[in-house]
Amino acid sequence: MSEVAVVDARDEPAGAGTPELRLWVRLLRCAKIGEKQLRRNFEDQFDTTLPRFDVMAALHREPDGLSMGRLSRALLVSNGNVTAIVRQLQAQGLVVSRPDPQDGRSAIVSLTPEGETQFKALAEAHHRWIAKVFRDVPAAQIDQLVQGLGELRKILGDDS
């Protein structure tokens, strides 16, 4: 009976942890590594940030604009957070906010022509940076991960 304890999970066999735990750690780690590089690129080359790019990308996908609430849900960030980010973009003339005729509490924000132009440049660079980050990953492996993470995302209940 004492042998049970000897092979107990607590013995951490060097690549330790349960599969879920290892999945989580690796997921977070890979995301952090990529984010670090992108943040620096956005800062150095365009004097902007990843969150601002995210907002612009979401607006680019919706030419008719989005309310603050829909924006915050699309990006998985809090309402107050998008308030701040949109304010910055507004100050730079990259987005506009017009009152929602259907709802007096709400405003519809969308990219300005300048925002659209700026976004295209950012998106092109973003794509280039991503391609560089993953340049040494075999195509087959990328496809496999795209597929696996797609399923994972669905299971985690992403309502984007």
Contact footprint for DNA (CB under 7 A): 36, 39-40, 43, 49, 51-52, 67-70, 76-88, 100, 103-107
Residue 81's binding partner, choosing from a second copy, DNA, none, with beta-carbon cut-off 5 to 8 A by kind?
Answer: DNA
10 binds, among DNA, a second copy, none (CB under 5 to 8 A by kind): none
Count residues contacting a second copy (CB under 8 A)? Answer: 44
Distance between terminal CA atoms of the chain?
51
Of 160, 34, 75, the C-alpha closest to 86 is: 75
- % helix, strand, coil for the chain, step of 5: 65, 10, 25
Q: In the bound complex, what is the minimum distance in angstroms from residue 53's beta carbon to a second copy?
A: 12
Could you tell me which stretch among 23-31, 80-88, 91-99, 107-115 binds a second copy (CB under 8 A)?
Answer: 23-31
- From CA 34, how far away is CA 28, in angstroms rounded? 10
The b-or-e profile of 78-99 (16+ CB within 10 A means b, else e) is eeeebeebbeebeeeebbbbee
In angstroms, the CA 160 to CA 154 distance is 10
Site for a second copy in 32-51 (CB under 8 A): 32-36
Secondary structure letter of residue 9 according to DSSP: G
**Cβ-based nearer residue to a second copy, 3 or 44:** 44
Please give the residue ranges that form the binding site for a second copy (CB under 8 A): 18-24, 26-36, 76, 127, 130-131, 133-134, 136-137, 139, 141-146, 148-153, 155-158, 160
